[in-house]
A = this chain, B = another copy of it.
Amino acid sequence: MAPVGSGLWRTLRAHQVYGANTDVGKTIVSTVLCNAVQRQKQRAAFLKPVSTGALDDADNRHLERYGAGALTKCLYQFDEPVSPHLAAKSKTIPRDEDLLASIHQTLSGWARSDIDFALVETAGGVHSPGPNGNSQADLYRPLRLPIVLVADSRLGGISSSISAYESLLIRGYDVQSVLLFRDEYYQNHEYIGDYFRNKSIPLVHLPAPPAKPSQTDPDAQQRDEEAMLAYYGQASRESEILRLLEEMTIKNKQRIERLEEMTDRAQELIWYPFTQHRGMQAKDITVIDSAHDDYFHTFGSSGTNQEGELRPTFDGSASWWTQGLGHGNPELSLSAAYAAGRYGHVMFAGTVHEPALSLAESLLKTLDNPRFSKVFYTDNGSTGMEVAIKMGLRAACDRYGWDASQEKINILGLKGSYHGDTIGVMDCSEPSTYNKKVEWYRGRGHWFDFPLVKMVDGQWKVEVPAELQEDLGPDAEFSSLGSVFDLNSRLDSDASQRYKKYIHRTIKDLVETHGMKFGALILEPVILGAGGMLFCDPLFQRCLTDVVREHPELFSPNATPAKTSPSWSGLPVVFDEVFTGLYRLGRPTSASFLDVHPDIAVNAKLLTGGLIPLCTTVASQEIFDTFSSPEKSDALLHGHSYTAHASGCTVAVDSLRAMSKMDKDGSWDGYRADWQNTTSSTASTPEVWSVWSNGLLKDLSCAEPVESVFAIGTVLSISLRDAEGAGYNSTAAKGLQQKLAAGGDQFNVHSRVLGNVLYLMSSVTSKPESLQELESLLRSALV
């Protein structure tokens, strides 16, 4: 089923009518508005997606009778006057996606016809369940129509009106107007009026509708009709109503104008991250009006605008690899708001609060590394890695008695690594496009080249760089990705011996011949992300760690291997799991693929499920103890103002819980089965799977424009053939990116490229149907 775009049309002002409660007069208010529109010689239409209650009482019938000629339509009619989820039990229930699609289709049809104004009425209150039992506020959210809220004028109505407003707000709705009936006794309109005026939301109060005539009156129906006609005649002419309609027209126009000017304004005011502005034009900027689940709702990306101004665009970079639990997730929104309401931000030096402590507990459980005992909080991967380096370097200098103010201490790493953009962590990567022009950049380390894992022509292989084949041996083929990760077997192989020998010799040479000192080993386990989606042979990373730990004498002549495993040996081992950790690759940690327990690990991105910045640097007790001293100045004197902010920690606790639940409750079993079936696995083969199908990989890897592919967890990487050595400046992947951006029938795709690599990344909650559609887009583009 195709996702719908949010509803916005130039020629049609469409609103959704929500009630603060049931029986607050939504249909009467709708009738007044439609009536008033029709009297202004414009065309109004009324859509009741789901109606419950006796047929001749149905709200659209009421509109037909009193709407002064407004068009009316009901998509699904249930007879019983109960919540739709109960009424629907005895009828064929439309799926939520179908309901949304029907509404969008109806409104788009109206927009193409002569209709100027449309109301989509909900049933009951904002959270009254729709036909499938989901709250209407959640169900209708992808459309994100501007809201007409009908407040409650009865006793208690102040409270229910404000709460209803808040429930809409935290789902990202724009409440554009509030209407209610005047009640001179309770005077809710006074209080509610002040409340909404304070928020610049217009409030209109209407005269109370006529009381129903007594049922004993034989002319009841006729009297009722006369009274209602008179009422609508009067109410629809009230100046406040006319002003409100005018305002609605203006707001729709202004909203589109704002969306139209946003690219120019952004071009004028925004300095974009990672962007060369020369040559960039305003039209290259994507305007995101809102986002829901996997989709941005983008402006100006519809070909013809026949279907409205906003179109769903699949967030194919998972918003820079952060997205985990869907955009606009109401649970995370509530978690963030709860923490904001309970604490705001409270300073963290010398204090403790439940979210920070809970997250430390739950993170340590998730990482499941017996070495870890301390959690340090920062705001993003870059700062978290700065902390990790400070920890690692201090531990090494302390143990080996080096004075770092006098000599250069280096790190050991891999070529193509990336740890963030603050200058300290830039120094942890070899000179590259990213860093070499930064004035204060001074690379401090040695970076190994390494064998890559990829699928070429339907075959998994480990590809050894030509210049290393003499040392590391030739390329090797594997029957499955699982067998690449079968380190238990591979560690006994020749390859392992060659890897270790090469690594050992190289380090020895660097230290002895070149006099280099090393303070930490830093790795992105499995995939080096920003460096170009480089899938490192896990055996190489494992061997590198093993050599470092087994040969501390390489780094300091008298050092001996640690006897107890929680003690670091050789060098502190730092894993940068900012990108690869926390289920990005289908497992709680990417360290588990190497079966290595690092001494320090950094997590961010998915930590908050894709909502707000937060980062953790976790370390062993021994690393922590290095900073313990009678001198304050020996402490890790690092901190940020919002360290361990309550909103971030609360969202993280809830995100970890949600992801861990999915890991265990079978949510991903379909993907697992696909990867299980296609590999010739044995009992010992580790489980490796991806949301991207094995079949897609095989097909893409055989396609002419494709050099190689891989997929693991939520990551799909497609390496395209390109002129030799174009690297980061390559443009080969741009063509594919443009095809995806143009999209298919259902949606566009937002993706990012790294040199000649185009990657796609889903959240952990992406719908299989969306991924299948993406796969078919890729096949059409490449195969």
Contact = CB atoms under 8 A, between A and B. Distances in A.
A438 interface: yes
A478 interface: no
Contacts of A743: none
Interface in A355-409: 356-357, 360-361, 364, 373-377, 379-383, 386, 389-390, 393-394, 397, 404-405, 409
Given A160-B160, A436-B633, A642 B380 contact: yes
Most buried by B among A278, A339, A343, A634: A343
A144 B284 CA distance: 49
Interface string A421-442: 1111111000001111111110
B127 A162 contact: yes
Contact of A344 (B159, B611, B729): B611
A317 B350 contact: no
Interface string A322-365: 11001111101110111111111111111111101100110010
Contacts of A375: 269-271
A170 interface: yes
A212 interface: no
Most buried by B among A156, A162, A263, A288: A156
Contacts of A376: 270-271, 273
Most buried by B among A273, A291, A421, A605: A273
Contact of A352 (B266, B344, B352): B266
Interface string A268-299: 11111111111100001111111100001000
A125 interface: yes
Nearest to A427: B440
Given A133-B191, A155-B124, A271 B624 contact: yes
A169 B265 contact: no
B433 A191 contact: no
Given A124-B156, A187-B86, A315-B346, A170 B337 contact: yes
Interface stretch (A226-234, A643-651, A687-695): A643-651
A160 B163 contact: yes
A153 interface: no
Interface in A25-72: none
A262 interface: yes
Contacts of A334: 166, 169-170, 337
Most buried by B among A339, A383, A648, A752: A383
A186 B83 contact: yes
Interface residues of A, number: 173
Nearest to A347: B319
Contacts of A638: 273-274, 421
Given A296-B346, A322-B642, A167 B163 contact: yes
Given A271-B374, A340-B333, A423-B424, A357 B632 contact: no
Contacts of A627: 276-277
A167 B166 CA distance: 7
A637 interface: yes
A322 B127 contact: no
Number of this chain's copies in the assembly equals 2
Contacts of A85: 191
Interface in A203-237: none
Interface in A594-625: 604-605, 610-613, 617, 619, 624
Contact of A170 (B156, B170, B630): B170
A553 to B, nearest CB: 22
A288 B351 CA distance: 7
A668 B639 CA distance: 32
B350 A285 contact: yes
A112 interface: no
Contact of A322 (B323, B328, B345, B628): B345
A21 interface: yes
A148 to B, nearest CB: 16
Contact of A273 (B270, B421, B639): B639
A172 interface: yes
A501 interface: no
A284 B351 CA distance: 8
A451 interface: no
- 8 nearest CB pairs, A to B: A273-B639, A125-B159, A172-B342, A423-B424, A22-B156, A172-B341, A404-B439, A337-B337
13 contacts: A22-B156, A135-B162, A166-B334, A169-B338, A271-B375, A276-B628, A277-B628, A345-B611, A383-B422, A390-B423, A390-B438, A433-B633, A440-B444
